[in-house]
Structure 1
Amino acid sequence: MNILLSNDDGVYATGINILFEELSKVADVVIVAPDRERSASSHSLTIDRPLRVNEIKPNIYSVDGTPTDAVNIAVHSLLKTKPDIVISGINYGGNICDDVIYSGTVSAAMEGAVMGIKSLAVSLVVNKGGGYLPKDQSLEENIELSFRKAAEFVSNLALVFNKSDFSKYTLLNINIPQTIIDKENVFEYKITKQGKRYFEDFIVEEMDPRGRKYYWIWGKNIKFDDISGSDYEAIHSGIISITPIHMDMTNYNALDKLKNIDFTSYEKSRR
């Protein structure tokens, strides 16, 4: 089994390197990842400048671009054969609910899915004040142990997933609560749907030393919708969440409604 690993935390991040070690026990693994953190880069491609690739050590490469750039370059130029699976992560921090719109982690896996490759996006959910986990479950001091246990789960999942008859252009978005370290060898998971979260967005406006304004975009978490079977519900219960995400973003429920609307009627009524 050939696996391509990428992420948005950067090639030197703890999560991707621990996952590389674990997956290398069962597969041929290559890392191609951004040379630095590229969180919230979404599915952006760099087309306004050339990209540079640096071989850090055997089977580990950095790209001075986005997660999507890294996967694209890996599949089309660096790898000798098309990978069986693309895995993005393990990301530091959750990617649930609306995070999937902005996440570079999810987008790296999405690029694999766009190419028809089985793909996984994997994130370790830590509190970080984000309200994902109950307030009394902050385990920051055990972060490396949590990554290692999460990597065990992902390795098992990848072996099963590789043999499955899974539809093309669909990826699995996997979120693993840091509380996994409390459950010994038990990996409890649920197949979930995407939840909904609301932000209170605000802009920090300051002045730089040269007297020019600059702006910093930020968001304050407000609440999560209480949706049965959602990724948030699973994570908040300390259970691994596995959510299938499809590349076809057509809203099929809206198709028939739109077909019954005459979008020229306003102009007709004005005549």
Structure 2
Amino acid sequence: MRFLLSNDDGVLAPGLQAMADALASLGEVTVVAPDGERSAFSSALTLDRPLRPQRLANGFIALNGTPADCIHIALNGLLDFEPDLIVSGINAGANLGDDVLYSGTVAAALEGRFLGHPAMAVSLAKPKIEIRGIDDYRAAAAYAAQLIAKWPGLGLPPRSLLNVNVPGGEPSEHTGFAVTRLGHRARSQDVMKLEDPRGNSVYWIGALGDPLDNAPGTDFYAVSEGAVSITPLDPDMTHRAAMTTLTSWIKQL
């Protein structure tokens, strides 16, 4: 198999290297990743400046853009082949529930899916502050490789992708794989308003909210129980259950 690998933590991130190492046992790996951290960039594309790929000594390609840029450019002229699978990660930290709307990791996989390629996003559901180095990602990379080795028999519906979250801890503490739905978070913590040394107001976005919907069957619940959460994502955000209500409402206009 031929893999196109990216992330949102940057081309030098240890999670990216761990995933590249694991994929190398399954096929040919090409890495196109941002030249620095681009967390929470979602599916943003860079339209106001040129993008310049740079090949590094280890063969990875760094791009001065977003995760979605990396996949978009790679599949639209940078590469001279069509990858069999787009892989994004391994992200430092979870991408659970509403996180997928902001995640650059998920966005890179989503961009691949938009451009007609099967895709998977992989995250290590462990606080960033507790991640020490590449060895912390090895188990997550091994789980991802285990899934990818069986990928030809999967047959996902068109335009869907997989969002994989691997719990922290040792593999001996894990409880297997779980197919899940997205849970939901409570609203994020309050924005912090501060003052810079020159007396100007500055603002820090608050931390993520705690899980609000973490019932059995959700990705939050699976990870809390030590399972590797696998959530199929569909980029069609239409709320079909609301269409009947909306149709009745507009008739009154």
Mapped to 2, the partners of 1:251 and 1:200 lie a distance apart of 23
The answer to whether 1:173 aligns with 2:173 is no
Which residue of structure 1 aligns with residue 123 of structure 2?
A: 123
- Note if contact 2:5-2:31 (Cα within 8 Å) is conserved in structure 1: yes
- Note if contact 1:125-1:177 (Cα within 8 Å) is conserved in structure 2: yes
Mapped to 2, the partners of 1:144 and 1:58 lie a distance apart of 16
Mapped to 1, the partners of 2:156 and 2:122 lie a distance apart of 18
Which residue of structure 2 aligns with residue 16 of structure 1?
A: 16
The answer to whether 1:66 aligns with 2:66 is yes
One-letter amino acid matched to 1:188: G
The verdict on how the C-alpha distance between 1:250 and 1:15 changes in structure 2, with shifts beyond 3 A counting, is: same
Mapped to 1, the partners of 2:21 and 2:104 lie a distance apart of 22
One-letter amino acid matched to 1:66: T
The verdict on how the C-alpha distance between 1:157 and 1:223 changes in structure 2, with shifts beyond 3 A counting, is: closer
For residues 25-56 of structure 1, give each alpha carbon's deviation from its aligned partner in whole angstroms, at most 9, with x where no partner exists. 22111000000011111110110111111101
Work out the number of aligned pairs and report it.
253
Matches within 5 A, 1:104-183: 104-127=104-127, 140=131, 144-183=134-173
One-letter amino acid matched to 2:20: F
- CA drift of 1:75 comes to 0.9
Which residue of structure 2 aligns with residue 132 of structure 1?
A: none
One-letter amino acid matched to 2:69: D
211, 225, 231: which one aligns with 1:243: 231
Mapped to 1, the partners of 2:222 and 2:94 lie a distance apart of 12
The percent identity for this pair of structures is: 38
Please state which structure has a larger fraction of its residues in strand. 1
- Note if contact 1:6-1:31 (Cα within 8 Å) is conserved in structure 2: yes
Mapped to 1, the partners of 2:204 and 2:178 lie a distance apart of 36
Which residue of structure 1 aligns with residue 93 of structure 2?
A: 93
- CA drift of 1:157 comes to 1.0
For residues 207-235 of structure 1, give each alpha carbon's deviation from its aligned partner in whole angstroms, at most 9, with x where no partner exists. 22333222111125344324220000000
The verdict on how the C-alpha distance between 1:200 and 1:154 changes in structure 2, with shifts beyond 3 A counting, is: closer
The verdict on how the C-alpha distance between 1:51 and 1:72 changes in structure 2, with shifts beyond 3 A counting, is: same
- Note if contact 1:146-1:180 (Cα within 8 Å) is conserved in structure 2: no
Q: Provide the TM-score with structure 1 as the length reference.
A: 0.87
- Note if contact 2:175-2:226 (Cα within 8 Å) is conserved in structure 1: no
Gaps spanning 5+ residues in structure 1: where? 130-138, 267-271
* Structure 2 counterpart SS, 1:219: coil
Mapped to 1, the partners of 2:88 and 2:188 lie a distance apart of 28
Mapped to 1, the partners of 2:211 and 2:163 lie a distance apart of 21
Mapped to 2, the partners of 1:239 and 1:31 lie a distance apart of 28
- Note if contact 1:180-1:187 (Cα within 8 Å) is conserved in structure 2: no
- CA drift of 1:69 comes to 0.4
* Structure 1 counterpart SS, 2:233: strand
Matches within 5 A, 1:198-209: 198-209=186-197
Matches within 5 A, 1:69-88: 69-88=69-88
Q: Provide the TM-score with structure 2 as the length reference.
A: 0.93
Mapped to 1, the partners of 2:194 and 2:218 lie a distance apart of 38
* Structure 1 counterpart SS, 2:148: helix
The answer to whether 1:225 aligns with 2:213 is yes
Which residue of structure 2 aligns with residue 192 of structure 1?
A: 180
Max radius of gyration: which structure?
1
One-letter amino acid matched to 2:36: R
Mapped to 2, the partners of 1:222 and 1:187 lie a distance apart of 23
One-letter amino acid matched to 1:2: R
Provide the alpha-carbon RMSD of the alignment.
1.9
